[in-house]
């Protein structure tokens, strides 16, 4: 079993139950959130409206006119206890390549524009993230950030925003950054941000409080077809791998995306939380070997 | 068809909201004041969930291109049909060529124009509600503009029998400048100090101008956090937690001086200290609270929250009995 504390349950008004697996972020908490929410989804529980797997927690929205709040709580507690065994959990997920232009001029421009909300107003966000993580060389930062595969641990904020958390690293090896003191009112579309130990890619221009370190060349939401579940690139349990690209390739990818000729580099895999817990980085290296 | 001559301040197509898509980061959206919205539909003989127009502070001007059955509910805006004063909370017949002019309200914020048959727009992810931040649903994913032509479904057969019916006075809400909002406490409330919690519950909070369908912002006294070092992954501020999915109605402090309550178009997740959740029916009250009006938060247990819900449901059933065809 995962080595995790007992899940804390809370009612959120009359329509939500919030389950906090751990207060701190651990990959095991996320695997458990995925396991429990998959089980809940499979059961099609009458009265349950929304099921959201989050970084180290999950959220259920229900209609109390159909299912009693207290009975549902008891039911969730039981599933939380009995259906989170990593040995039985096998995730059919995808590895997705994200071509990224690090330290691009648009991210630089946005980070200077919102200087007054920033903990270090004299630096760009990219320089700041390098500095607080002890990097002095841009290329070694890019190498370090892009060679780590990331697990999609939560989707939300604005539609299709994927939180991702590094796989196979010890907490002290994870690139981290403080969030803005007060959120930016604007963020470039496809901007890559770091806040705490998480990375996000912002799907559209909107508010944000993570440090901007670059931009993805590929979109997070496919708007060419009627919007449906599969229009969103970010899916919990998927692995994202950054590939640094320069300006010219970034522009080429952008225009082939616009022309509808770009195909994401994607590979389907089976991800075993148990093997990850047992073997750590070695297991991730095996998974990534021929990607 | 209805032609928009003046769109008002902020008019969108809304229904009861989008469900089952929260895990994609898609919030429910839907009518901000469900109570007024539902009564509007009942008055014109619709099921509770048919799409209507939601207006904000100032209604607009609408030309009807066919005969329709309509009702106005919500914040009491001054309304005229061809310069004749038109009452709220009552079902009316309008004719092709009629002009409906809806001016500002002195109380409340949101009003609804409900039409028998409902507004005809495509469902997006299972709902007709407009979610503007991502331009999803409603009329082209946006608020209405001059010249827009809104299609209306065929009126429900027999809807004309509804004309002249009205919601009895005791069912018409009052729109006050002071509200009591019921809250279940919890979530990451443990990060607020005891003193901070007392301050939260004992103070009056003032609605800020930067309030909308996404979130309501309030100003008030300064609260204090427990100043525990944030958990791993969360960031470095005392107001940071590991990012999680926010319930609609959740109450958060982004810092010690800013209180936010998330509404139907919320950001679905984030990493700020969140201390409790406003019960679903009191979100209606929030959406009708004007900038600079005041509120007070009071705690309820889950059983009290469910009780309040049951009472409202019963009340609604009584009303259905009174105005149903």
Q: What is the pLDDT of residues B54-84, one digit of tens each?
A: 999 999 999 999 999 999 999 999 999 999 9
| pLDDT for res B315 | 95
Of chain B, the percentage scoring pLDDT greater than 70 comes to 100
From the CA atom positions of chain B, what is the Rg in Å? 20
Of chain A, the percentage scoring pLDDT greater than 70 comes to 99
What pLDDT digit, counting tens, does each position of A140-150 carry?
999 999 999 99
Chain A residues near residue B285 by CB distance under 8 angstroms: none
Residues in B 96-135 with any Cβ partner in A closer than 8 A:
124-125, 133-134
Q: Quick one: pLDDT band at residue B325, thresholds 50, 70, 90? A: low
| pLDDT for res A1 | 56
Kindly report the average pLDDT of chain B as a whole number.
95
**What mean pLDDT comes out for the span A8-28?**
96
Domains of chain A by range and CATH?
8-85 (3.30.1360.40), 92-288 (2.40.100.10)
Residues in B 50-79 with any Cβ partner in A closer than 8 A:
none
What pLDDT digit, counting tens, does each position of B7-40 carry?
999 999 999 999 999 999 999 999 999 999 999 9
The answer to whether B233 contacts A227, with C-beta atoms less than 8 Å apart, is: no
* Closest C-alpha among A203, A151, A146 to residue A175: A146
Cβ–Cβ under 8 Å, residues A76 and A9 = yes
What pLDDT digit, counting tens, does each position of A50-66 carry?
999 999 999 999 999 99
Residues facing B205 on adjacent strands: B295
Q: Residue length, chain B?
A: 325
How close is the nearest chain A Cα to the Cα of B225, in Å? 16
How close is the nearest chain B Cα to the Cα of A206, in Å? 8
Token representation of residue B290: 């004007």
C-alpha span between B111 and B257 (Å, rounded) = 31
Q: Quick one: pLDDT band at residue A223, thresholds 50, 70, 90? A: confident
**What mean pLDDT comes out for the span A221-232?**
86
Chain B residues near residue A10 by CB distance under 8 angstroms: 186-187
B203, burial (CB in 10 Å: exposed 0-12, middle 13-18, buried 19+): middle
The answer to whether B309 contacts A14, with C-beta atoms less than 8 Å apart, is: yes
Closest partner residue to B234 (CB to CB) among A49, A69, A196 is A196
The CATH number of B178-311 is which of 3.40.640.10, 3.10.290.10, 1.10.4000.10, 2.40.100.10?
Answer: 2.40.100.10
Sequence-ordered strand ranges (E) for A21-88? 48-53, 57-62
What pLDDT digit, counting tens, does each position of A83-119 carry?
777 677 888 999 999 999 999 999 999 999 988 877 7
Closest partner residue to A13 (CB to CB) among B24, B271, B278 is B278
Of chain B, the percentage scoring pLDDT greater than 90 comes to 89
Token representation of residue A109: 């421009």
Of chain A, the percentage scoring pLDDT greater than 90 comes to 81
**What mean pLDDT comes out for the span B230-256?**
91
């Amino acid at each position: 079993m995962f080595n995790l504390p007992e899940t804390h349950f809370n009612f959120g008004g009359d329509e939500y139950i919030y389950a906090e697996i751990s207060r701190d972020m651990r990959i095991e908490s996320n695997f458990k959130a995925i396991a429990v929410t998959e089980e809940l989804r499979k059961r099609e529980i009458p009265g349950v409206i929304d099921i959201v797997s989050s970084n180290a927690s999950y959220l259920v929205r229900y209609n109390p006119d159909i299912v009693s709040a207290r009975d549902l709580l008891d039911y969730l507690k039981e599933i939380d206890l009995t259906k989170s065994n990593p040995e039985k959990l096998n995730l059919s997920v995808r590895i997705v390549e994200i071509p990224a232009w690090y330290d691009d001029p648009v991210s630089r421009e946005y980070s200077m524009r919102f200087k007054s909300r920033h903990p270090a107003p004299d630096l760009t966000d990219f320089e700041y993230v390098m500095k607080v993580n002890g990097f002095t060389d841009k290329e070694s930062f890019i190498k370090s950030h892009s060679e780590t595969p990331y697990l999609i641990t939560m989707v939300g904020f604005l539609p299709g925003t994927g939180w991702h958390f590094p796989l196979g690293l010890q907490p002290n090896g994870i690139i981290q950054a403080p969030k803005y003191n007060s959120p930016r009112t604007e963020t470039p579309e496809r901007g890559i941000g770091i806040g705490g130990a998480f990375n996000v890619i912002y799907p559209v221009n909107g508010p944000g409080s993570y440090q901007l370190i670059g931009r993805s060349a590929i979109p997070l939401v496919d708007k060419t077809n009627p919007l449906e579940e599969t229009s969103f690139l970010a899916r919990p349990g998927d692995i994202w791998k950054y590939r640094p690209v320069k300006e010219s390739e970034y522009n080429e990818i952008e225009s082939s995306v616009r022309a509808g000729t770009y195909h994401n580099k994607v590979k389907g895999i089976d991800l075993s939380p148990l093997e990850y817990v047992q073997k750590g980085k070695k297991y991730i290296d095996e998974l990534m070997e021929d990607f | 068809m209805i032609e928009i001559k003046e769109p008002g301040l902020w008019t969108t197509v809304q229904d009861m909201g989008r469900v089952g898509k929260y895990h994609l980061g898609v919030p429910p959206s839907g009518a901000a004041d469900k109570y007024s919205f539902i009564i509007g539909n009942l008055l014109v003989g619709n099921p509770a969930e048919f799409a209507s127009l939601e207006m904000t502070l100032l209604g607009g001007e609408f030309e009807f291109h066919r005969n329709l059955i309509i009702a106005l509910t919500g914040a009491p805006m001054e309304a005229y049909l061809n310069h004749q004063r038109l009452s709220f909370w009552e079902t009316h017949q309008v004719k092709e060529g009629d002009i409906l002019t809806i001016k500002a309200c002195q109380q409340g914020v949101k009003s609804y124009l409900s039409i028998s048959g409902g507004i005809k727009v495509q469902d997006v992810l299972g709902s007709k509600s407009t979610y503007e931040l991502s331009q999803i649903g409603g009329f082209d994913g946006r608020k209405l503009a001059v010249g827009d032509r809104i299609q209306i479904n065929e009126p429900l057969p027999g809807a004309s029998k509804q004309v002249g019916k009205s919601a009895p006075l005791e069912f018409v809400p009052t729109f006050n400048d002071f509200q009591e909002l019921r809250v279940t406490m919890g979530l990451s409330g443990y990060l607020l100090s005891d003193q901070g919690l007392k301050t939260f519950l004992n103070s009056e909070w003032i609605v800020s101008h930067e309030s909308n369908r996404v979130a309501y912002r309030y100003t008030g006294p300064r609260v204090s956090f427990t100043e525990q070092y944030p958990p791993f992954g969360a960031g470095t501020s005392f107001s940071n937690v590991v990012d999680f999915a926010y319930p609609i109605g959740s109450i958060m402090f982004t810092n010690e001086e800013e209180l936010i309550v998330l509404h139907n178009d919320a950001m679905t997740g984030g990493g700020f200290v969140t201390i409790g959740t406003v019960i679903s029916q009191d979100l209606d009250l929030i959406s009708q609270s004007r900038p600079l009006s005041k509120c007070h938060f009071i705690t309820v247990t889950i059983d009290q929250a469910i009780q309040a819900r049951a009472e409202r449901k019963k009340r609604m059933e009584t009303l259905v009995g009174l105005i149903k065809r």
